[in-house]
């Protein structure tokens, strides 16, 4: 039964893919169902309102639209035709039309997406699945997980057959430093050194989660751009508050406030938050769901005292080291992953050509390390009641001593990597004929025997991969089906439900999660 259902929905999706492709004409707005006309979009009700057309939201909405009417509310604009997004050499993270920077209370500079496609439109492009252990621990249905990854990969994941000079050297260096075995090209999470997938294709063109809307049923979906949700609207009767009132949002085009409601004829209609770790958590708080005392401080009427909203948020600490190369390098994004055997650190690399002004060109090779499963956790709380403002976030990096110990272990491998003959190829030879790697900024030591010095280096080099997650954590804020505890008709599907970040990089699993939960929701309704 389940198999048959999947087969039918799969067939349907391929038909629709071709239908919508045929309807594509304007390359800047390729979907007939994408609009910024708030008045028209708000003139009807929907079975599902998905808040946030991001990495999880797009695949989720595309899947639900096979059988039900869906509205996607996205605060940003279309990613199509924006060179900063589409070209791998672009700088989306510093383009305010598609990204919003924020500084954590720890002082780390981070960035949020503000564009259809979400993080997948501004990120580094690495595509890598979660480990089998992760999938088992989180108790997902393994078969559906792999089917969902494949559904994403048919459109959005590419094997990288051409390695850049720097990535190729890093690959050899990792093997020399003992990050073994070599696993070749794979999307799978395997201990050792591998060539990861990418959402950049062979031509360096980015494929964002918005591309998964090709799977949508164009008759059943509206994607409203430039629409910032401000709160969820509840109705009260017997039992728990229901999100059936829908969502209030502000159109950035006309500056007006609109309310959009759920289909009142169905008891199964839902508002689904897919606004990301920061956005979904913020929206629950703005809607009166959160720690009571904190809501009171902001003069928000408490609908539900939910003490864990915004608690235990996390960002994986990282450290990047930049080497000025003695040889020419190309611009290249991250293509490799060194997955260390204690599974506590991941190493990646990339390179860039710094064309200062035509006369002096610098070639920079970057080695990056990320702590896989930090124990330090932090908090998110509101700065204002304006949904356009960033909330306060504190990640408390390295507040747990074990995190620092694990970083030290990882840095030791980085030292060995930098000392490998493959990386030493890029060193400069001085007058005394000895070779030295020239670092831009913070250097890796040659000597890895001083743990205290390495711990100090971890703290000084503290940076981020922007893999921050949590805020509506599964088990605390939402239940095992990601329904918000204490209210009805409200779910969260995005990186805010994670306790730990999946895979070396999370986007593969977050796109997968959108598809996976879409199928789950369709199945729940077929069964009930």
Ligand X SMILES: Cc1cc2nc3c(=O)[nH]c(=O)nc-3n(C[C@H](O)[C@H](O)[C@H](O)COP(=O)(O)OP(=O)(O)OC[C@H]3O[C@@H](n4cnc5c(N)ncnc54)[C@H](O)[C@@H]3O)c2cc1C
Q: Using CB under 6 A, list all residues that contact ligand X.
A: 51-57, 73-76, 93, 111, 113-114, 118-120, 122-126, 228-229, 274-277, 279, 283, 387, 466-467, 494-495, 505-508, 510
Q: Identify residues 377-406 at the interface with ligand NAG (CB under 6 A).
A: none
Residue with tokens 């050297």: 169
- The answer on whether 470 is annotated among ligand-binding residues is no
Rounded Cα–Cα distance for residues 260 and 37 (Å): 13
Q: Which of the choices ligand NAG, ligand X, none does residue 45 contact, using the CB cut-off of 5 to 8 A by kind?
A: none
Rounded Cα–Cα distance for residues 199 and 474 (Å): 27
Q: Segment near ligand NAG (CB under 6 A), from 54-62, 100-108, 285-293, 446-454?
A: 446-454
- The answer on whether 176 is annotated among ligand-binding residues is no
Q: Which of the choices ligand NAG, ligand X, none does residue 413 contact, using the CB cut-off of 5 to 8 A by kind?
A: ligand NAG
Partners of 297 in the beta sheet?
A: none
Cβ of residue 132: shortest distance to ligand X, in angstroms? 18
Cβ of residue 425: shortest distance to ligand NAG, in angstroms? 18
Let me know if 467 is a catalytic residue: yes
Cβ of residue 168: shortest distance to ligand X, in angstroms? 19
Among 13, 36, 113, 130, binds ligand NAG (CB under 6 A): 36
- The answer on whether 288 is annotated among ligand-binding residues is no
Determine if the peptide bond prior to 181 is cis (ω within 30°): yes
- The answer on whether 123 is annotated among ligand-binding residues is yes
Structure token pair of residue 439: 């670092």
Nearer to ligand X, 229 or 289 (CB): 229
299 binds ligand NAG (CB under 6 A): no
Q: Which of the choices ligand X, ligand NAG, none does residue 390 contact, using the CB cut-off of 5 to 8 A by kind?
A: none
What is each CA distance from 231 to 103, 152, 509, in whole angstroms?
A: 24, 30, 27
- The answer on whether 30 is annotated among ligand-binding residues is no
Rounded Cα–Cα distance for residues 107 and 378 (Å): 13
CB atoms within 10 A of CB 403: 21
Partners of 197 in the beta sheet?
A: 127, 159
Helix (H/G/I), strand (E/B), else coil: 214: helix
- The answer on whether 495 is annotated among ligand-binding residues is yes
* Catalytic residue (choose from 207, 467, 469, 520): 467
90 binds ligand NAG (CB under 6 A): no
Residues 6 or more apart whose Cβ sits within 8 Å of residue 513: 56, 148, 493, 494
- The answer on whether 506 is annotated among ligand-binding residues is yes
Contact 278, 112 (CB under 8 A): yes
447 binds ligand NAG (CB under 6 A): yes
Contact 398, 459 (CB under 8 A): yes
Residue with tokens 């890029």: 426
Q: In the chain, what is the straight-line distance between the N-terminal and C-terminal CA atoms, in Å?
A: 14
Contact pattern for ligand NAG over residues 65 through 84, marking x by CB under 6 A: ------------x-------
186 binds ligand NAG (CB under 6 A): no
Q: Which of the choices ligand NAG, ligand X, none does residue 156 contact, using the CB cut-off of 5 to 8 A by kind?
A: none
Instruction: Please report how the helices 451-460 and 401-419 are oriented relative to each other, as an axis angle in degrees rounded to 10.
Output: 100
Q: Identify residues 351-380 at the interface with ligand NAG (CB under 6 A).
A: 356-357, 359-360
Structure token pair of residue 135: 């999938």
Residue 4: phi and psi, rounded to 5, are -60, -45
Rounded Cα–Cα distance for residues 13 and 515 (Å): 12
- Catalytic site positions: 467
Residues that bind ligand NAG (CB under 6 A): 36, 77, 178, 225-226, 252-253, 356-357, 359-360, 412-413, 416, 447, 449-450
Binding positions for FAD? 115, 123-126, 495, 506-507
């Amino acid at each position: 039964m389940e198999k048959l259902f999947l087969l039918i929905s799969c067939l349907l999706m391929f038909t629709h893919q071709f239908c919508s492709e045929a309807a594509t004409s304007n390359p800047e707005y390729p979907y007939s169902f994408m609009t910024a006309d708030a008045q028209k979009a708000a003139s009807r009700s929907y079975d599902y309102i998905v808040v946030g057309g991001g990495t999880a939201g797009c695949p989720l909405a595309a899947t639900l639209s096979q059988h039900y009417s869906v509205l996607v509310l996205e605060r940003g604009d279309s990613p199509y035709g924006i060179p900063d997004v589409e070209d791998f050499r672009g700088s989306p993270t510093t383009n305010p039309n598609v990204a919003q920077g924020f500084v954590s209370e720890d002082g780390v500079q981070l960035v949020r997406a503000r564009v259809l496609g979400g993080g997948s439109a501004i990120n580094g492009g690495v595509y890598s699945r979660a480990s089998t252990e992760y999938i088992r621990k989180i108790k997902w249905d393994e078969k559906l997980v792999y089917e969902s990854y494949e559904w994403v990969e048919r459109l959005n994941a590419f094997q990288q057959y051409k390695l850049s000079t720097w990535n190729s050297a890093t690959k050899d260096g990792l093997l020399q430093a003992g990050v073994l075995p070599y696993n070749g090209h794979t999307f799978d999470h395997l201990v050792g050194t591998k060539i990861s997938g990418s959402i950049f294709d062979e031509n360096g063109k980015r494929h964002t989660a918005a591309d998964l809307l090709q799977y949508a049923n164009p008759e059943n979906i509206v994607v409203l751009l430039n629409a910032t949700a401000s709160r969820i609207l509840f109705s009260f009767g017997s039992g728990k508050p229901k999100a059936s009132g829908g969502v209030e949002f502000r159109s950035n085009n006309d500056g007006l406030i609109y309310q959009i409601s759920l289909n009142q004829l169905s008891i199964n209609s839902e508002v689904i938050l897919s606004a990301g770790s920061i956005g979904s958590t913020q929206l629950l708080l703005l809607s009166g769901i959160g720690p009571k005392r904190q809501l009171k401080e902001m003069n928000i009427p408490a609908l539900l005292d939910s003490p864990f909203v915004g608690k235990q948020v996390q960002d994986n600490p990282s450290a990047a080291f930049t080497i000025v190369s003695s040889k020419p390098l190309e611009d290249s994004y991250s293509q490799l992953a060194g997955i260390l055997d204690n599974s506590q650190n991941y190493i990646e690399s990339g390179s860039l050509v710094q064309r200062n002004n035509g006369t002096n060109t610098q070639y920079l090779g970057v080695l990056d390390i990320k702590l896989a499963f930090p124990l330090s956790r932090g908090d998110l709380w509101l700065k204002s009641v304006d949904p356009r403002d960033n909330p306060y976030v504190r990640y408390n990096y390295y507040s747990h001593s074990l995190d620092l110990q694990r970083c030290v272990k990882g840095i030791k491998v980085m030292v060995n990597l930098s000392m490998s003959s493959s990386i030493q190829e890029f060193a400069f030879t001085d007058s005394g004929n000895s070779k030295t790697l020239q670092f831009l900024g913070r250097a890796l030591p040659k000597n890895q025997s001083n743990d205290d010095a390495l711990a100090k280096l971890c703290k000084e080099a503290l940076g981020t991969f922007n893999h921050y997650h949590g805020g509506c954590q599964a088990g605390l804020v939402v239940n095992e089906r990601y329904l918000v505890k204490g209210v009805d008709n409200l779910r969260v599907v995005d990186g805010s439900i994670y306790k730990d970040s999946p895979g070396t990089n999370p986007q593969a699993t977050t796109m997968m999660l959108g598809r996976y939960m879409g199928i789950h929701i369709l199945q729940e309704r077929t069964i009930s």
